[in-house]
Amino acid sequence: MTNMKRRDMLRGIGGVAIVGGLAGCMGSGTADDDEMETTTTPTPTPTPEPEMAMVRVAHLSPDAPNVDVYVDDSMALSDVPFGAVSDYLSVPVGVRTVKITAAGDDSTVAFEGDLDVAEATYTVAAVGELSEETFEPLVLEDDVSVPSDDTARVRVVHASPDAPAVDITAGDQTLFDGVEFTQSGSVEVPANTYTLQVRGDTESNDGDAVAEFDVEFVGGTVYTVFAAGYLTSDDEPMDEAFRPIAAVDAGAGGGGLVQRDVFFRAAHLSPDAPNVDVVVDGAVALSDVPFGAVSDYLALTTGMHQVTIRATDAPDTVVFDEELDLAAGAYTAAALGELDSMADNAFAVSLLEDDRSAPADDTARIRVLHASPDAPAVDVAVAGSGDALVDGAAFGDAATVEVPAGDYTLQIRGDTESNDGDVVAEFDVSAEGGRAYTAIALGYLTPDDEPGDAGFDLSVVADN
C-alpha cells in the first residue's frame, strides 16, 4: 500500500498467576505430637487469549486529501492516499472509537465515531464526498472462506459518488445487476482472465459501457473490486477519474487488474483496397473500415498480439497477418500502398510510434505522414512565409515538427532544394496549443491514371 505506516493496534493483556502455599512446623516428641509439613505445587492460571477482529481500511473518497486513521486515540495508519487499501490489522473486539483526519493535521476531522466489531473480518471503506458532507465509513464484513482451486470469489463495491446504479457484465454474462452507490455483491466465477464492462443499469443489462477493464481471477482466491472515483471528473471538485481498485481478501493471491498500457489504432490509407476488418487476437476490433478512416485508440496489454487485416466482404482475403510485440506506448498501424501487384508502392502495414504527450500550452505538435502512393517526394510549407515544415518527405516517410498554436495554410510542393517547387495542393489547418496531431497526405495525386478514384487529400487527426 502506498506510503502507509502500520502501527500496533493490539494492546497486550498481562496475566499474573497467583499461587498459594500451606506451611507447617514439625516439633520434637512422640508420633502423636508430630505435625507433617505439607507443600503444594503452584498451578499457573492460563491467560485467556483476547478475541480479535481483522480490519483493513480503504480510502475511496475522491475529494478527500490523504488521511490519518486513529483507533482508540492511537494512530493506526498514516498518510493514506485515495485508492489505497491497507493490509488487515488485528483489533480487539468491542466498541472501538475511530477517527479519520487530514494527514498530519489531527484537528481537521473528517469522521469520528464508534464502531462495534465482532470476532470477524472487516473492510472499513471511506466513501462519499467531503464537499457534499456525505463522507462516511462504509463497514463491510468480509467473507474470507477460500473457494475451490478452480474458482474465485469476487465482491464488487460501488463507491463512485456520481455514478448511477450499474450492471457489470463479462461478454454476454451478467455478473452484477443494478448495484447502487455503497451497495455490494459477491459472485463465484471460474478462474480466468475476464474483460468486465461497467454499464448503466437496464432491465436487459445491455446499457452503454462507461468503463471496461481486464482482470485476472486466480483460483482459490477471494477478491474485492471497488468501483471508485468520479464518472464525470471534469464536473467534479477533483480529477480522480472512475477506475476499478482490486484487492485480495484471502486465499492463494495473485491476479488482479491487468494493466492496458498499449494504445493501438488503425489507419486505412490504401486507396485501392476495399473496406476492411481489423482482427486482434482472434476478435474483430474494428469492422467495415473504409479508405481514409483512422480509428480511435484501442487499449491493449503489453506483449504479443496477433493482428489480422481482411476484406470486410471477403473474410478469406487476408492482406496482413502478423504477430506484433507491443511495448507500453501508443501506435498507429497504417495500411499503406496499393494492392495492385504492379504498383510501385506495394501494400504494407507500417507500425508508427505515436507521441501523445502534450506540448506546451502555446505550441502544437504536427506529424506529417506521406501516404499518397503516386506522389513524389514533397516539401510541406506554410503559405506566405516560405518556411518549410517538412523537407523532402518520400512515400511512407513521417516527420514531426512543433509550431506555435494557430491557423495555417499548408502547401504541398514537389521537393526542391529551395523548397519552392510548384504547389500541388493547399489545406487550411487549425492547431490548438497543447495538442498533438498527425496530418496524413493520402489518395492519388492523379486519380484518373490509377485503379482507384480517391483524390489527393490531407487528413488531420488528433493524437492526444
Residue 450 resides in a domain: yes
**Rounded to 5°, angle at Cα 72 from 17 and 16:** 5
Check whether residue 369 and residue 464 sit in a common domain.
Answer: yes
DSSP single-letter state for residue 345: S
On the 0-12 / 13-18 / 19+ scale of CB atoms within 10 A, 166 is buried
pLDDT at 45: 62
Query: CA–CA separation, 17 vs 55, rounded Å?
Result: 32
Residue 187 resides in a domain: yes
Residue 315 resides in a domain: yes
DSSP of 222-272, one letter per residue?
EEEEEEESBTTGGGSSS--B-EEEEEEEEES---EEEP--EEEEEEE--TT
| Range list of β-strands (E), 312-362 | 318-326, 329-336, 348-354
CATH number of the CATH domain containing 350: 2.60.40
Q: Select from 330, 354, 378 the last residue of a domain.
A: 354
The residue to which cell 465515531 is assigned: 113
pTM of the shown model: 0.62
Intervals of the chain under pLDDT 70? 1-49, 237, 386, 450-452
Residue 53 resides in a domain: no
On the 0-12 / 13-18 / 19+ scale of CB atoms within 10 A, 59 is buried
Among 460, 423, 420, which residue's Cα sits nearest to residue 440? Answer: 460
According to DSSP, the β-strands at 329-336 and 262-268 are: parallel
Q: What total of structural domains would you count in the chain?
A: 3
Return the C-alpha cell found at 262: 498499449
Contact between residue 214 and residue 195 where contact means Cβ atoms under 8 Å apart: yes
Among 56, 20, 24, which residue's Cα sits nearest to residue 38? Answer: 24
Check whether residue 365 and residue 445 sit in a common domain.
Answer: yes
Per-residue pLDDT reduced to its tens digit, 194-250: 989 999 999 999 888 888 888 999 999 999 999 999 988 777 767 788 999 999 999
Residues 6+ apart with CB under 8 A from 347: 270, 273, 319, 335, 336, 337, 338, 339
Check whether residue 239 and residue 321 sit in a common domain.
Answer: no
Residue 65 resides in a domain: no
Residue 71 resides in a domain: no
Query: CA–CA separation, 403 vs 94, rounded Å?
Result: 66
Check whether residue 242 and residue 158 sit in a common domain.
Answer: yes
pLDDT at 236: 72
pLDDT at 389: 86
Q: Select from 329, 354, 379 the last residue of a domain.
A: 354
Check whether residue 251 and residue 329 sit in a common domain.
Answer: no
- Is residue 17 helix, strand or coil? coil
Domain that holds residue 243: 143-258
pLDDT at 8: 33
Check whether residue 349 and residue 408 sit in a common domain.
Answer: no
Residue 214 resides in a domain: yes
Check whether residue 157 and residue 253 sit in a common domain.
Answer: yes
Per-residue pLDDT reduced to its tens digit, 321-366: 999 999 999 999 999 999 887 888 999 999 999 999 999 999 999 9
Check whether residue 230 and residue 289 sit in a common domain.
Answer: no
- Compute CA distances 152 → 149, 218, 257, 390, whole Å: 8, 6, 14, 56
Residue 183 resides in a domain: yes
Q: Select from 292, 324, 354 the last residue of a domain.
A: 354
Per-residue pLDDT reduced to its tens digit, 218-234: 999 999 999 999 988 77
Check whether residue 380 and residue 427 sit in a common domain.
Answer: yes
Instruction: Count CB-CB contacts under 10 A for residue 230.
Output: 22
pLDDT at 78: 95
| Range list of β-strands (E), 74-144 | 74-80, 89-92, 94-102, 105-117, 121-127, 136-141
